[in-house]
Amino acid sequence: MRRAAGILVALLLVGACSSSKSNNNASPTTRVSQTTTATTGVGSTSAATSAAISSECPALSVVATALGESLRVPTAANTNFGVLCTYSGGSGTPVRIAYEQDTTSAFTSAEASVRGAEKVGGLGDAAYTAPGLIAVLNSGTGLRITAPAATRAQLQALARQVMR
């Protein structure tokens, strides 16, 4: 029932994502909350999410430094179960960081479907990496980072910094 109510809220708030332009040297955060939609900080954006996850997108400076790429201020968008942060620029393909509600069985199933997936120890409850991807399950929250130009080492380092 609670999940259905959350999904209804998400449907009502679809398209509530807004953004501001900023220079690439700014270090904004992008705020996401369940009940509000507002622009916060220099060049940052907000989105409403139906999930129990309420967080900020990782700071531009953290992501850009970890990946060694020149990226733009992220945009945040709500999903059915969390938030998706998209950082454009860099290699031409956006870097995406998603925080979503997840279960061990769903996480394990997703891992089994990824070609070339390798388990990563010492990161959350479970983690795997593949070319351009890292996924971490930590206390019911799934973190997925896609960065096609990044190495596995860069992805692991970024995941350790932004895992919640």
Closest CA to 81 of 97, 100, 95, 102: 100
Which neighbouring-strand residues pair with 82? Answer: 100
Cα distances (Å, whole numbers) of residue 160 to 19, 21, 80, 107, 112: 27, 28, 25, 18, 22
Using the predicted structure, report yes or no on whether residue 33 has a pLDDT greater than 70.
no
Note the pLDDT tens digit of each residue in 70-103.
999 999 998 888 999 999 987 789 999 999 999 9
Note the pLDDT tens digit of each residue in 61-76.
999 999 999 999 999 9
Q: Which domain holds residue 103?
A: 2-162
Which neighbouring-strand residues pair with 124? Answer: none
Written as six digits, the tokens of 135 are 């996924």
Count of domains observed in the chain: 1
Using the predicted structure, report yes or no on whether residue 16 has a pLDDT greater than 90.
no
Query: For residue 145, what is the domain's CATH number?
Result: 3.40.1000
